Amino acid sequence: MTDPDPAVLGQLRQIVGAQRVLTDADSLAQFGCDWTRVYTPNPVAVVLPGSIEEVQDVVRLAAREQLAIVPSGGRTGLSAGAVACKGELVIALDRLNTLADFNAVDRTVRCGAGVVTEQLQQYALEQDLFYPVDFASSGSSQIGGNISTNAGGIKVIRHGMTRDWVAGLKVVTGTGELLDLNRGLVKNNAGYDLRQLVIGAEGTLGIVVEATMRLSRQPHNLAVLVLGVPDMTAIMSVLSAYQGSMELSAFEFFSELALQKVIEHQGLQRPFETPAQYYALLEFEQPDDAAMEQAMTLFEHCMEQGWVLDGVVSQSVAQAESLWRLREDISETISRWTPYKNDISTVISRVPDFLVEVEAVVNDNYPDFEIVWFGHIGDGNVHLNILKPDELPMDKFQQRCGEVSKWVFDIVQRYEGSISAEHGVGLLKKDYLHYSRSETEIAIMRQIKLAFDPAGIMNPGKVFDV
């Protein structure tokens, strides 16, 4: 453990209150890590400010003392972007959790960074509106963290990423200044959009403290269709057929092994008896009977073409939720094996060939490992999960997976894809950033960071080394 400076701790207590500065071992372990569980947390202390002004004062103190800062939200990240393992000060935004200034005309609401995603979703429902960014960790992830990682999830094919829903942003820079960006405007071409630079920057440019979030109309009578398909090429044919005639709100996929794991550990039932190599999950609105009739016509067409082996469609809200669990419960189910995750993407049309190449490399080099595939294939994003055998030590497991990651990322680079479609870079992927970004791009990123954070205290060591 890093020994805290008593004088600095005293000043922190003066800013946020004595009870809001945590140095006990349990708190340091809780707030110093995220879901990666690869690095040992070792923050010097944790502070929980209760206002934007307190965040500013803490940052100014840290800048004077050259004390590195790690912003902390729900800590559900999967790239170690919120890990404090080198004596950093953790600034946890949990107390900035208010929702205010709802505007029914603009369909916006002002959120503190600590507002939990599910809290915003529920608030939108109470206004007869909808917040569409959704994913498995919505019950614990926070809006500030979602913005800092540009969270995606299961509705991207229709509703886009988090950045598409941020109308305004308040950010505390590395000097303690408060930037009030865009202020909810729909059209604003007055210079650079600094808001979009901060979104997805993983806290390396500043701390998101407040956001004005856009809301949408509620979807009407959502239906879920789960299809068994023989291969990835068939999945893309199904996607093309349905998108040509209907607007989908989700198009997900998962492998047979993923389905087996979920059924075994979550007490769910197979959607149908016919086994398949892969499964596609489609969601669509059915405001009238014509929508379901069209979906069934397309299903029959896909069956005739050999793209689909079997399928089931939800007949109720409860059944739709149950079918969604086949996909959404995968991450929780496989977490017991501490999987090595690769979150990769390419353009949608190239996914089948891309996946074939990646799968060949993985299977050749991990013959003794279980490989679970799932993802948001409607937007070109697939998740490769290698399950750690119980008897294999974590360090050896990470080493073996890291070696083959380089070969996987060679394929990503050839397909002009991304090494991180939605999880961020953090600590886990910064050594591989050059597979997706050119030297010139990375150099410009460093210059941007210097402008926002001249002392280099904001989440240092994440994304790239300055």
Residue 402 confidence (pLDDT) = 87
- For the segment 115-154, what is each residue's pLDDT rounded down to a tens digit? 999 999 999 999 999 999 999 899 999 999 999 999 999 9
Residues 383 and 303 in one domain: no
Residue 38 has pLDDT above 90, yes or no: no
Question: Does a structural domain hold residue 74?
Answer: no
- For the segment 278-329, what is each residue's pLDDT rounded down to a tens digit? 999 999 999 889 999 999 999 999 999 999 999 999 999 999 999 999 999 9
Give exposure, 290-316, as e/b (b: 16+ Cβ within 10 Å): ebeeebeebbeebeeeebbbbbebbee
Q: Are 408 and 284 in contact (CB under 8 A)?
A: no
Domain end among 217, 234, 258: 217
Residue 363 confidence (pLDDT) = 87
Concatenated DSSP letters of 313-334: E-SSHHHHHHHHHHHHTHHHHH
Residues 273 and 352 in one domain: no
- Please name the residue ranges forming H helices in 190-316: 194-198, 232-243, 256-266, 289-304
* Structure-block tokens of residue 462: 């994440």
Residues 401 and 364 in one domain: yes
Greater model confidence, 394 or 52: 52
Q: What is the pTM assigned to this prediction? A: 0.94
- For the segment 203-216, what is each residue's pLDDT rounded down to a tens digit? 999 999 999 999 99
Strands (DSSP E) found in 269-400: 278-285, 310-313, 340-345, 370-376, 381-387
Residue 416's domain is classified under what CATH number? 3.30.70.2740
* Structure-block tokens of residue 464: 């790239």
Q: What percent of the chain has pLDDT over 70?
A: 100
Concatenated DSSP letters of 160-185: --GGGGEEEEEEEETTS-EEEESTT-
Residue 408 confidence (pLDDT) = 94
Residues 107 and 205 in one domain: yes
Domain end among 277, 303, 331: 331
Residues 182 and 246 in one domain: no
Question: Does a structural domain hold residue 239?
Answer: yes
Banded model confidence at residue 420, pLDDT cuts 50, 70, 90: very high
- Across the chain, mean pLDDT equals 95
Question: Does a structural domain hold residue 13?
Answer: no
Residue 3 confidence (pLDDT) = 75
Question: Does a structural domain hold residue 229?
Answer: yes
- For the segment 23-37, what is each residue's pLDDT rounded down to a tens digit? 999 999 999 999 988
Least confident range from 108-122, 160-174, 327-341: namely 327-341
Q: Please state, in angstroms and rounded to a whole number, the distance separating the CA atoms of residues 380 and 421.
A: 9
Question: Does a structural domain hold residue 159?
Answer: yes
Instruction: Collapse the DSSP code of 8 into the 3-class scheme (helix H, G, I; strand E, B; otherwise coil) and give the result.
Output: helix
Question: Does a structural domain hold residue 231?
Answer: yes
Banded model confidence at residue 2, pLDDT cuts 50, 70, 90: low
**Cβ neighbours of residue 196 under 8 Å, at least 6 residues apart?**
163
Banded model confidence at residue 348, pLDDT cuts 50, 70, 90: very high
Beta bridge partners of 279: 228, 254
Instruction: Collapse the DSSP code of 303 into the 3-class scheme (helix H, G, I; strand E, B; otherwise coil) and give the result.
Output: helix
Segment 157-171 shows an average pLDDT of 97
- The domain total for the chain is 3
Q: Please state, in angstroms and rounded to a whole number, the distance separating the CA atoms of residues 419 and 421.
A: 6
Segment 247-268 shows an average pLDDT of 96
Residues 351 and 327 in one domain: no
| Pairing verdict, β 310-313 and 278-285 | unpaired
Tell me the CB-side half-sphere exposure of residue 314, using CA atoms within 13 A: 22
Question: Does a structural domain hold residue 105?
Answer: yes
Residue 273's domain is classified under what CATH number? 3.30.70.2190
Q: Kindly list the distances between the CA atom of residue 256 and the CA atoms of 4, 219, 263, 270, 271, in Å, as whole numbers in the listed order.
A: 50, 30, 11, 10, 12
Question: Does a structural domain hold residue 385?
Answer: yes
Residues 326 and 406 in one domain: no
Domain, as residue range, for 292: 222-331
Residues 387 and 429 in one domain: yes
Banded model confidence at residue 415, pLDDT cuts 50, 70, 90: very high
Residue 424 confidence (pLDDT) = 95
Beta bridge partners of 250: 283
DSSP symbol at 418: B
Residues 234 and 269 in one domain: yes
Residues 177 and 259 in one domain: no
Q: Are 142 and 113 in contact (CB under 8 A)?
A: yes
Residue 1 has pLDDT above 60, yes or no: no
Residues 236 and 315 in one domain: yes
- For the segment 438-460, what is each residue's pLDDT rounded down to a tens digit? 999 999 999 999 999 999 999 99
Banded model confidence at residue 17, pLDDT cuts 50, 70, 90: very high
Residues 226 and 288 in one domain: yes
Residue 256 confidence (pLDDT) = 97
Residue 155's domain is classified under what CATH number? 3.30.465.10
Domain end among 282, 315, 331: 331
Q: Please state, in angstroms and rounded to a whole number, the distance separating the CA atoms of residues 74 and 259.
A: 28
